[in-house]
Amino acid sequence: MDSYEKIRIVGRGAYGTVYLCRRLVDNGLVIIKQIPVEDMTIEERQSAINEVKVLSVLKYPNIIGYYDSFYEDKALMIVMEYAEGGTIFEYLQQRRDELLSEEEILHLFVQILQSLHHVHSKNILHRDLKTQNILLNDRRTVAKLGDFGISKVLNSKSKANTVVGTPCYISPELCEGKPYNHKSDIWSLGCVLYELASLKRAFEAPNLPALVMKIMRGKFAPISSIYSEDLRGLILSMLHLDPSRRPELDEIMALPIIVNSLMQARTSIGRIPCLQLSKKNSSTTRRSKGKRYHASAKSNHTLDSGIDGGSVTNNRATYDRSNSTDDASGILSSSGGSISLPFDSQSLKSSHNSNITSYSHRTNRPGSSISSLSGALTDSEDSHVSSSSAPVFTWGSSSSKPLMLNLPQRSLQITRVDVSRTQKMGVTNCGQIVIWEQNRVQLDGKNDRNINIDIPRLLEGQSVVNITHVSCGDLFTACLTDRGILMTFGSGANGCLGHGNFNEAAHPKIVESLIGYEIVNVSCGASHIMAITAEHELFAWGRGDNGRLGTSNTKTYSVPELIKLPETYQPSSVCCGIDCSMVLCCDGCLLVCGSNRANKLSLDTSDTGLVDEKHSLTRVPSMPLSSLSIEQVAAGTSHTAVITGCSNSLIER
């Protein structure tokens, strides 16, 4: 910092502090982002380095300039261009209820459009496009794109599998767990254009689940009728629910409403001053819904019926791109670890890089899966496992001894695992899901030398927020995010995904009927699921045979069903067996329902005799369980194990 003088702090971000500084050699003002890297994780450090790499290759008039970077006092310092006018977000807030003219909207928009076009031409996705990341000059006539900390550099066969960014600007396909691509940036650009025209965001809600639901439904308030039909149509087309029907950047730039503004922007922003003829009626003032609007141009705006009321559903956009394709260009190349086995590693499915920049883990709860583990599958003693990770083992079936699991990438660590009769999955320290798929491998080309190998891979197209918990059923999976959102994927048989149908889902999809609830615990049986909210509400769905759902019947439910319990019982965690369910309450009591095969639910007593099944949740009556405080429970096919508050383990068969 010998060449710079700090003036003041202008902002604080997730990874560091932003200073306004004076460059001593010429007294020029610059921005220096100070990012302490010593205590960062590998992913956070990579994000900081990534911003330097992206800025260094993006040289464009409408992109914040990169000057230098260096290390000082165990921090990465990034020197960038200073924009005196602040952000577009700040500018719009200062206007209060005074709408921008359509001419000014388009003047700013085409500059953002050109900068994003340049970014995409370099095979880079911005992934956090919003009004807070677009800066202005002192006269607020020049817009510049900034903050490339979470941008993704793509190769010719890649797509960004991690989903990051500001929730209000994320696209519906990201909410469904699909991969990020250039059409997601176009959705965010549409949100920015809407904000320029309405001074508010297209999608807002009091909490994240409600926001996700609004985005997935694609409904937002219409912009004012003072704007042209062309502008309204452009917004609708960019905010189309179907990514393939959103226009390409080249198509947007060719629209008549954009071409004129492009020409004006290129002449007015250049170094040679150009005289622009003012339009007639430039001082005309209009009002709409109590908002002041200084019109600079058009008096012939077309009014749609009801345009000032109700809501707009953006999957009916007038800009029809149904025949266009979403060429998101492939899958990120693997840089992960390999498996040391005597067969061609190219036959394995590719692992995928990820760049999640922040994560948090929910504290372990009773009945949760194993935590604080790391590793991956192979029976070779030569497997590549990070020296800083603790191994994960699997055994049973045809394995004569525990086998160590391998990871798709050496830098990953497993924090939680879960298994079912058909699946093995884990959650990484970066909030990703690892799947181990079993493959039968022939050794040395001899049929009599076959071994089962579980091949690790990262699940493609993971959700908008980090996964903290995973639970496996038979051919389906449930996972929780760090915001308490429940997502399911896999086979939809018996309605076990909770989506209101029996269809399969290839990628994690939000259970929509639970939007608005913070889910804190979930467990999968062979064909059913139970989940508990932060308010101790219990939901169950899927196959209802044997009364395993606790609904007092044996019906099958394809959407979550609220299970009513006496007020004295407050569920805290749940464990689903193959054909039964067990619920732990805050006071340590254990409630059970479903099949009591081999008395695994401990329902047989001298008073009741043999109990085959129970259709509603019932407190375990048998001693000593009925008198002990139970902290954890696990269910097998025909036996159960619990841990009590005094650390005594009880096994029942």
- Which residues are tagged catalytic? 128
> What strands, in cross-sheet order, belong to the sheet with 17-23?
4-12, 17-23, 28-36, 75-81, 66-72
Cβ 488 vs Cβ 511: under 8 Å: yes
**Closest alpha carbon to 426 in 476, 372, 381, 464:** 372
> How far is Cα 353 from Cα 333, in angstroms, rounded to an integer?
7
> How far is Cα 580 from Cα 452, in angstroms, rounded to an integer?
30
CA 129 to chain centre: 15
CA 141 to chain centre: 34
Cβ 145 vs Cβ 119: under 8 Å: yes
Measure the N-to-C terminal CA separation of the chain; round to a whole number of Å: 70
Cβ 130 vs Cβ 184: under 8 Å: no
Task: Work out the number of other CB atoms within 10 angstroms of the CB of residue 16.
Answer: 21
Q: 291-294 and 98-99: which strand pairing?
A: parallel
Phi-psi region of 381 (alpha: psi -120 to 50; beta: other; left: phi over 0): alpha
User: Would you call the peptide bond into 256 cis, given omega within 30 degrees of 0 as the criterion?
Assistant: no
> How far is Cα 332 from Cα 158, in angstroms, rounded to an integer?
4
Question: Is residue 488 helix, strand or coil?
Answer: strand
R_g of the chain computed on alpha carbons: 29
Locus of tokens 């919003």: 130
> How far is Cα 530 from Cα 171, in angstroms, rounded to an integer?
29
Question: Is residue 471 helix, strand or coil?
Answer: strand
> How far is Cα 191 from Cα 432, in angstroms, rounded to an integer?
28
Cβ 457 vs Cβ 469: under 8 Å: no
> How far is Cα 515 from Cα 209, in angstroms, rounded to an integer?
5
Cβ 542 vs Cβ 528: under 8 Å: yes
Distances (CA, A) of 199 to 96, 308, 507: 8, 15, 35
Question: Is residue 241 helix, strand or coil?
Answer: coil
Q: How many residues does the chain have?
A: 653
Question: What are the beta bridge partners of residue 531?
Answer: 522, 539
CA 395 to chain centre: 33
Single-letter residue type at 115:
S
Fill in the DSSP letter of residue 167: G
